[in-house]
């Protein structure tokens, strides 16, 4: 194994998940720059690094150094110090300020920042508060170096240091030494295997009860990530044993102890023992209990009176409802809990407006909500009423319980101030959010759940909408008649065709087009051309009106690669366009970005779309709406991603004038009917599908959506007699 050392000149590429990076290293006495690949996050520009590995020859990119480990030190020469400070690593320092600092303090610059921060005010443009900010930011980096060194001395890649420090600050090393398995649950990007490696290096034995219990917890976390609420004990034991590399009997023993001390929850069903994480057991059980309680306690009206109110609204609004729509509007007065479902073009919005009108005619206070900000905005636009995210309705402040579930201001003790609550896009709600919402509904109030059961299920655990319908315990109406005519919307007709397992019909130059390009690279280039030329020529504002969706993140037609291509095509670099570079991406003024994590302090939430309006050394400014502009410091930029392209899952709850969807054979894992249906139903005026006919046919044909492990339908006292459990997981 060979070692080389030098200063980092620039970062060529860094994966969004922090698992792979390419940077160029300037070696002493060697002309030119050496490309280095490393498994992990890249170092900062200007840092001095020592990497160990081997020289390899890439068939396309030539000779490069493949690093298996990396050590980072502070830069020592003046050029390196200036590059390091100008890289954005230290809050409050940009290129101009970095130059002035090095001009003033020379090689002592970093020592001054660390040990004599008051002297920073000797430099023009730095006041006392800025000096304190620079010192604090630099000391964070110093602490990260200590964490990195600890990790590397224990045989673990130091690239995780920044994430660990962000989570635990000064307690990072203590957590790694005493509670290493917490990292898998609490630090983004660190999986169980990495936490396990840290634990083993800290002296925890392979067959220790602590390690096996952590493996069981992780296996349960994995099934929750896959959308399940529980798993048969035998399957759990096999999963954990395989993960840990120990005998199944050892796992069985520890699992029995976990169940005996009630650290995990258990339910007997269908001759199987089903194991739950406690928080999901509680969520599922409480959801069923509260639904049943609300049904019993709400006041209802006589059917005849409800029908009369509906007729009055039809007359006053000039809207003639279809029979099933009329039934649905009347049902909100007849029932305490009610579900309205239906596909695009079936008039769900019209029904919701009627529901609001008849409820308010009885003097009831009505609240409107949806799982995401974009879905809430759509609901508000469609009804002309205020609508908020479920998190806002519940008064979420960002706090979390010990088991990772959110803390809300509204609950059974402090309920919502409403007589009726209408929630849209309920297919997106997982079991935990539904539990918290229902517990905050005041006794006697009505709950109306609206959604399209054929859409993709929630990203989180559970199949709430589907299970409620499957139980038969909650009254519901499914709207089936399509009211938009074929001449008005091929999109709607094709969406319903896809849902019935039929191939969509395409119309060249119309509102539903297909371009056959089997080669992925060629398909990606065609997507760029469409966004850059074709769709603008049709009158679409490409940044505001057009959304590229993809089933996957990686591959040439995946979200990550398309975002890079589209950024360069639609918002290329320019001398007058400020940029901010970090280890994972380039952000420049004018970029379309997405918030990927709820930030209650800023008032922005997962899935919100905005545009960068300003870039400075201190960070970036993003305008999300006319009313909301948010500032991001460099250490907060991990919560932003480019949004020229996004996953189909991320698009749920939104509508766009036009969508562009690649479907290629490399997406085979994700080629499912409900994914295609969800993507198509995001578009109002135009759908363009690019890819292979075989991929399109596979998506339409594949309706084998995996049933999730959940007992909500059974807890509600019904279900169709079919077991909710699949045999393979």
Q: In this predicted structure, what is the pLDDT of residue 572?
A: 93
- On whether the CB atoms of residues 642 and 591 are closer than 8 A, the answer is yes
Sheet holding 592-595, edge to edge: 629-632, 619-623, 609-616, 592-595, 640-642
> How many Å is the Cα radius of gyration of the chain?
28
Distance of CA 204 to the CA centre of its chain: 33
Q: In this predicted structure, what is the pLDDT of residue 155?
A: 65
- Cα 221 to Cα 277: distance, rounded to the nearest angstrom: 8
Provide the b/e sequence for 591-610 (b: ≥16 CB within 10 Å): bbbbbbebbeebebbbbbbb
Q: In this predicted structure, what is the pLDDT of residue 14?
A: 66
Q: In this predicted structure, what is the pLDDT of residue 4?
A: 92
Q: In this predicted structure, what is the pLDDT of residue 351?
A: 95
3-class DSSP state of 479: strand
Q: In this predicted structure, what is the pLDDT of residue 116?
A: 92
Residue ranges for the chain with pLDDT beneath 70: 14-19, 41, 59-61, 74-76, 87-89, 142, 144-145, 148-149, 152-160, 162, 188-189, 302-303, 398-405, 484-488, 582-584, 617, 635, 705, 718-729
Q: Where are the beta strands (DSSP E) in 493-618?
A: 512-516, 546-550, 579-581, 586-588, 592-595, 609-616
- On whether the CB atoms of residues 491 and 499 are closer than 8 A, the answer is no
């Amino acid at each position: 194994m060979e070692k080389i050392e030098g200063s980092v000149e620039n970062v060529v590429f860094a994966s969004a998940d922090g698992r792979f990076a390419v940077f160029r290293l300037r070696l002493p006495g060697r002309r030119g720059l050496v490309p280095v690949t490393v498994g992990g996050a890249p170092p900062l520009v200007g840092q001095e690094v020592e990497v160990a590995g081997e020289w390899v020859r890439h068939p396309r990119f030539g000779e490069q150094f493949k690093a298996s480990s990396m050590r980072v030190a502070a830069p020592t020469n003046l050029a390196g110090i200036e590059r390091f400070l100008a890289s954005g690593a230290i809050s409050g320092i940009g290129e101009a300020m970095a130059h002035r600092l090095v001009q003033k303090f020379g090689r002592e610059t970093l020592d001054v920042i660390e040990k004599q921060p008051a002297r920073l005010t000797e430099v023009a443009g730095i006041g006392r508060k800025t000096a304190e900010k620079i010192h604090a930011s630099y000391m964070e980096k110093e602490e990260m170096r200590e964490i990195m060194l600890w990790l590397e001395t224990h045989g673990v890649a130091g690239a995780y240091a920044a994430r660990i420090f962000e989570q635990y600050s000064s307690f990072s090393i203590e957590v790694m030494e005493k509670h290493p398995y917490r990292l898998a649950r609490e630090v983004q990007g660190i999986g169980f295997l990495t936490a396990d490696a840290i634990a083993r290096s800290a002296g925890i034995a392979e067959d220790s009860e602590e390690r096996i219990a952590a493996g069981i917890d992780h296996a349960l976390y994995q099934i929750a990530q896959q959308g399940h609420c529980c798993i048969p004990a035998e399957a759990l034991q096999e999963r954990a044993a395989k993960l840990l590399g120990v005998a199944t009997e050892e796992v069985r023993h520890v699992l029995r102890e976990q169940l005996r001390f009630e650290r995990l929850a258990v339910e007997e069903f269908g001759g199987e023992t089903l194991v739950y994480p406690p928080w999901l057991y509680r969520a599922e059980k409480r959801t069923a209990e509260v639904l049943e309680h609300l049904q019993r306690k709400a006041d209802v009206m006589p059917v005849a009176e409800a029908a009369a109110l509906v007729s009055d609204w039809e007359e006053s609004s000039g809207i003639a409802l279809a029979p099933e729509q009329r039934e649905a509007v009347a049902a909100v007065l007849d029932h305490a809990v009610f579900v309205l479902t239906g596909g695009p073009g079936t008039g769900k919005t019209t029904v919701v407006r009627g529901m609001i009108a008849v409820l308010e005619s009885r003097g009831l206070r009505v609240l409107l909500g949806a799982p995401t900000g974009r879905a809430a905005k759509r609901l508000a636009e469609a009804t002309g009423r205020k609508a908020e995210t479920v998190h806002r309705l519940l008064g979420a402040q960002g706090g979390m319980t010990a088991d990772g579930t959110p803390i809300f201001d509204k609950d059974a003790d402090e309920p919502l101030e409403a007589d009726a609550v209408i929630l849209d896009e309920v297919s997106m709600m997982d079991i935990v959010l539904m539990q918290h919402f229902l517990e905050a509904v005041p006794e006697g109030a009505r709950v109306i759940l609206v959604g399209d059961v054929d859409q993709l299920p929630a990203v989180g655990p559970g199949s709430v909408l589907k299970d409620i319908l499957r139980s038969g315990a909650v009254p519901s109406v499914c709207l089936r008649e399509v009211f938009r005519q074929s001449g008005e919307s091929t999109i709607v007709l094709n969406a319903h065709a896809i849902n019935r397992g039929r191939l969509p019909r395409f119309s060249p130059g119309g509102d539903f087009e297909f371009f056959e390009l089997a080669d992925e690279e060629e398909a990606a280039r065609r997507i760029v051309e469409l966004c850059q030329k074709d769709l603008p020529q049709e009158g679409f504002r490409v940044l505001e009106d057009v959304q590229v969706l993809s089933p996957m993140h990686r591959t040439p037609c995946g979200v990550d690669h398309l975002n890079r291509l589209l950024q360069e095509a639609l918002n290329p670099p320019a001398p007058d366009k400020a940029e901010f570079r970090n280890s994972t991406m380039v952000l420049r003024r004018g970029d379309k970005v997405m918030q990927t994590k709820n930030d209650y302090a800023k008032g922005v939430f997962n899935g919100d779309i905005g545009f960068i309006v300003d870039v400075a050394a201190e960070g970036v400014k993003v305008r999300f709406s006319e009313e909301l502009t948010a500032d991001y410091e460099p250490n907060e930029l991990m919560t932003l991603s480019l949004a020229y392209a996004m996953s189909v899952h991320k698009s749920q709850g939104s509508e766009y004038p036009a969508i562009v969807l690649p479907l290629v054979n490399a997406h085979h894992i994700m080629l499912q009917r409900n994914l295609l249906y969800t993507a198509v139903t995001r578009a109002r005026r135009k759908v363009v599908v690019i890819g292979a006919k075989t991929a399109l046919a596979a998506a339409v044909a594949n309706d084998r959506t995996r049933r999730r492990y959940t007992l909500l339908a059974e807890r509600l006292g019904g279900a169709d007699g079919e077991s909710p459990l699949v045999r393979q997981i």
